Structure 1
Amino acid sequence: MVEIKTDTALDAMREAGRVVARALAAARDAAAVGVRLRELDEAARAVLGEAGARSPFLGYQPSFAPTPFPAVICASVNDVVSHGIPGERRLRDGDLVSIDCGAELDGWTGDAAISFTVGTARPADVELIAATRHALDAGIAAATVGHRIGDISHAISTVARNAGCGMPAGFGGHGIGRRMHEDPHVPNHGRPGRGFPLRHGLALAIEPMLTAGGRDACRTDPDGWTLRTIDGSRAAHFEHTVAVTEDGPRILTLP
């Protein structure tokens, strides 16, 4: 069932979104050559604790996962598309890092993701990050009253294909509110004019994941979480929690 939020609820989600933005900034600030991924998780965890927020990631176990997720961020490096577990791996010069983080505050949830490079960036990685951010911006721009979910999906996939990028099949965004994952699903592939109609008060997590290899196929590591490109090409991931309003899209996870 799709829940349409009141303006008061959207304001509360905005406060959760601010916490997410601060946690992502802390994780990014902690990222440097030689730093362990778990240290990025610790930085984000400290922000959540200071805000009195709960992590919707920590202990989360969907049907596909053999074990609960053990961290408050997903830290995905290079060919990892999403759901990377932050452990003892140390960042190396030139790594492409994607951080996904959520926060639940006073019963409402925010969810966002960023991608960046550590040390000396490869030009191809800079282009991939820019294309992924462009895809997110296009998806957000399509999140207007009177459009449908398929218009968001089509906007994202158009940018990805024009950039020669792939996107993992079956993955995309989602409704969000009292829980991190709610209806409706927001595919990153789709046809315009199709799907659930966008109304004032609909809250969505829009999250394109692009791969440099141009292929959509990915595989999951034995840990049951880590999603990785089959061809070893690099991946980037951006996400914002967005409210559809009569005044246009309202981004709830900005700093």
Structure 2
Amino acid sequence: MIEILDATEVDRARRTGALVGDILQSLRGRSVAGTNLLDIDSWARDMVLEAGAESCYVDYEPSFGRGPFGHYICTSLNDAVLHGLPHDRVLADGDLLSLDLAVSLDGVVADSAISFVIGGKPSAADAALVGATERALRAGIAAAGPGARLGDVSHAIGAVLGEAGYAVNTEFGGHGVGSTMHQDPHVPNTGRPGRGYVLRPGLLLALEPWVMADTAELVIDPDGWTLRSATGCRTAHSEHTVAITEDGVEVLTLPTT
């Protein structure tokens, strides 16, 4: 089902999105060498609950996972790219960390992800990897709007990733959000322009380009959740929730400070 929100619900989505953006920004600032992934999960839990929000992950139990997930945030490290289950693992300088957070506030969900290198200046390869996902995300957002087709968004994302030299995996991609975290439509990270669902005002989409440095093949950890590159190469993931409006597209998950 594709859910179309009314103006009041979109306004609530703005508040949810701001909360998600602010929590991720706070966690990024606190994630340094010596930080445990379980600490990040604990900090996320405290901020979500303090805001009166609900985690979309704690009780999340889809068919592809070994659920329930049982944590408040996905922490994907180095060769892990999606659904990283927080473990007792301490960060070190040079680690490449992706944080993915989805919460519900006042009945509306927002979902966002960031990738960054711990410590000093990232390597050229890591900077290129993260930068490609961020540029692809901006391109997908720019292609969205009322009357655009889903294929336009997917094509814009895939064109950036392909031009940067990365293979695109289409098993997991963006998705609709609204009263629940994962809804139709699925938004592949590559596609054909002019095809697919016509975007309408009130539609919320979580756009999430992600890549692996030298492969498009995923493997799953014994924990049943964490998805890694099949070759052990580094990975990156960027995501925003956006709202289709009457006259364009609005990014909901930007931090407020």
Q: Which amino acid aligns with 2:211?
A: L
Aligned counterpart, 1:243: 243
Cα distance in 1 between the residues matched to 2:90 and 2:169: 26
What is the DSSP-based 3-state SS (H/G/I as helix, E as strand, rest coil) of the residue aligned with 1:103?
A: strand
1:24 corresponding residue in structure 2? 24
- Which residue in the other structure is 1:210 paired with? 211
Alpha-carbon distance between aligned partners in 1 of 2:198 and 2:213, rounded to the nearest angstrom: 32
**Structure 2 counterpart of 1:103:** 103
Question: Displacement, 1:195?
Answer: 1.1
Q: Does 1:86 align with 2:90?
A: no
CA contact (8 A) 1:30 1:39 kept: no
TM-score (norm 1): 0.97
Q: Is the 8 A contact 2:77 2:97 kept in 1?
A: yes
Residue pairs, 1:183-194, within 5 angstroms:
183-194=184-195
Q: Percent identity?
A: 51
Aligned to 1:167: 168
**C-alpha contact (below 8 Å) 1:26/1:44 kept by paired residues:** no
1:36-78 alpha-carbon deviations (Å, 9 max, x no partner): 1011111111111111000011120001112210211000011
SS of the aligned residue for 2:194 comes to coil
Tell me the equivalent position of 2:224: 224
4+ residue stretches of structure 1 with deviation over 4 A? none
Match of 1:196 in 2: 197
Q: Aligned partners of 1:169 and 1:229: how far apart in 2?
A: 14
Structure 1 residue 127: Cα displacement: 1.2
Rounded Cα–Cα distance in structure 2 between residues aligned with 1:109 and 1:168: 25
Instruction: Give 1:58-73 correspondences, 5 Å limit.
Output: 58-73=58-73
Residue type of the alignment partner of 2:146:
V
- For the residues of structure 1 that align with 2:242 and 2:159, how far apart are their CA atoms? 20
Unaligned runs of 5+ in 2: none
CA distance in 2, matches of 1:162, 1:146: 26
Aligned to 2:144: 143
Cα distance in structure 2, aligned partners of 1:98 and 1:152? 23
Instruction: Read off the aligned partner of 2:63 and give its amino acid letter.
Output: S
In the alignment, is the contact (CA less than 8 A) between 1:23 and 1:45 conserved in 2? no
Q: What is the alpha-carbon distance in structure 2 between the residues aligned to residue 216 and residue 147 of structure 1?
A: 28
Contact 1:30 1:43 in 2 (8 A): no
Q: Tell me if the contact between 2:3 and 2:203 (Cα under 8 Å) persists in the aligned partners.
A: yes
Q: Aligned partners of 1:166, 1:30: CA distance in 2, in Å?
A: 32
Report how many aligned residue pairs link the two structures: 254
Q: Could you tell me how far 1:219 is from its partner in structure 2?
A: 1.0
* Distance in 2 between residues matched to 1:88 and 1:69, nearest whole Å: 15
**TM-score, with length taken from structure 2:** 0.96
Say what the alpha-carbon RMSD is for the aligned residues: 1.0
Output the CA distance in 1 between the equivalents of 2:170 and 2:102: 23
